[in-house]
Amino acid sequence: MLMEEEVLAYSRMPVSAWLATFGDPCVREPMWSPTPPNGENRLVFHSHIHDEIEVHQIRRGELTAEINGSRLKLTAGDILIVNPYERHSGTVPQNAVTEYMHATFDVNYFTGCCGEANTLFRNMLTGEIYFPTLIPADNPVSPRIGKALENIYECYRRAMCEKENLASADLRLSLAVQELTALLLENVTPLKSNGKQVRNSRFIREVQQYVSNYFRCNLTTEQIANDIGYNTSYFCTMFRQNFGIPFKQYLNERRIEYATTWLRNLPLSEIASALGFSSYNYFCRVFKKQTGMTPGEMFGRCE
């Protein structure tokens, strides 16, 4: 997850929106997804989790998403919803054109003025309820969600470029996000969990804030557990219950995500040390495991 202070292009609200195109020679591809050297499917977003809701519409081609270990193939017109704290990744075919639009936003921020909405989304953050992952293209609401995403995207671009009337640009973006959330609630019934996925939101917030501050240091499980007031064993149990993975894996995913977004121009050895990895070789192993490519392949440089 990219914390607010790291979002260089736009940081006034916890929202982002992007149009990503792959395999079309007429459209510049996103820098975060270079062509893999082995000719296999390309990873367009690596496995990660965050507390925001993420909504995608596939506009061209197909995308294969993996959500909490389940694989799902989406084609043009399909809507993908990633709920808070659902582990997700995505790949597209190497030799085909694929395009998708997505928006990511913190629901708490955009529902703060409405008590009923706050209650509903608090339940979503704790895992008690969740939106269905797939809304197929033939569902009547899918085109409307696509239009709402386009509106968020245009408002987001306007907000990034605005130099003078920031208040107006931000209000338009906020309204666009609220229109999408209202559309979802009116047309997509949240599902109830079986109780096994219920999370401790206070613990999650403590961990996220701490990791945001210190993930570039040589951080250990024992250190974070002690600093936020837990013994190590209980912390590890709580972490698995709330995040679904060991803390070390979460920490390394956070580091690699940061590296591929903000540290691309550093020498490779300096990226490893800047992120608190104990050695360059360990950094390379973690990087390859998470992205399917070596740092040199990802950044187009010799290692």
DSSP code string of the chain: ---GGG-SS--SSSEEEEEEEES-TTSPPPTTSPPPTT-SPEEEEEEE--SSEEEEEEEESEEEEEETTEEEEEETT-EEEE-TT--EEEEE-TTS-EEEEEEEE-HHHHTTT-HHHHHHHHHHHTTSEE--SEE-TTSTHHHHHHHHHHHHHHHHHHHHH-SS-HHHHHHHHHHHHHHHHHHHHHHSPPEEP-STT---HHHHHHHHHHHHHHTTS---HHHHHHHTT--HHHHHHHHHHHHSS-HHHHHHHHHHHHHHHH-TTS-HHHHHHHTT-S-HHHHHHHHHHHHSS-HHHHHT---
Examine the fold and report which residue of 192, 216, 239 is the final residue of a domain before the chain moves on: 192
CATH number for the domain including 235? 1.10.10.60
Over the stretch 249-265, which tens digit does the pLDDT of each residue have? 999 988 988 887 777 77
226 and 81 both lie in a single domain: no
One domain, residues 207 and 63: no
pLDDT at 211: 92
Q: Is the dihedral of CA 107, 111, 112, 117 positive or negative?
A: negative
- Mean pLDDT for all residues in the chain: 87
Residues 103 and 212 in one domain: no
Low-confidence ranges of the chain (pLDDT < 50): 1-8
Residue type, 50: H
The pLDDT, as a whole number, for residue 38 is 62
Residues 129 and 214 in one domain: no
For position 131, what pLDDT does the model report?
95
Distance in angstroms (rounded) separating the CA atoms of residues 156 and 105 = 11
Identify whether residues 166 and 234 lie together within a single domain: no
- Token code pair at residue 226: 């002690």
CATH of the domain at 77: 2.60.120.280
Give dist(CA 127, CA 13) in Å, integer.
Answer: 24
Residues 160, 75, single domain; the answer is yes
- Same domain for 141 and 289, yes or no, is no
What is the pTM assigned to this prediction?
0.83
| One domain, residues 28 and 50 | yes
Give the C-alpha distances (Å, rounded to integers) separating 131 from 79, 85, 194.
Answer: 12, 12, 14
**Residue 102: which domain range?**
4-192
Q: Would you state the pLDDT for residue 7?
A: 41
> What per-residue confidence (pLDDT) applies to 34?
58
Q: What is the pLDDT of residue 5?
A: 36
At position 176, the amino acid (one-letter code) is A
Task: State the Cα–Cα distance between residues 205 and 212, nearest whole angstrom.
Answer: 10
Domain finish residue from 192, 221, 237: 192
Residues 214, 188 share a domain: no
Query: Are 117 and 249 within one domain?
Result: no
- Tracing tokens 């709402």 back to the chain, one arrives at 148
Residues 218 and 186 in one domain: no
Cβ neighbours for 101, distance < 8 A, ≥ 6 positions apart: 17, 18, 19, 20, 56, 57, 59, 146, 149, 150, 153
Please tell me the total count of domains within the chain: 2
Looking at the structure, do residues 145 and 178 belong to the same domain, yes or no? Answer: yes
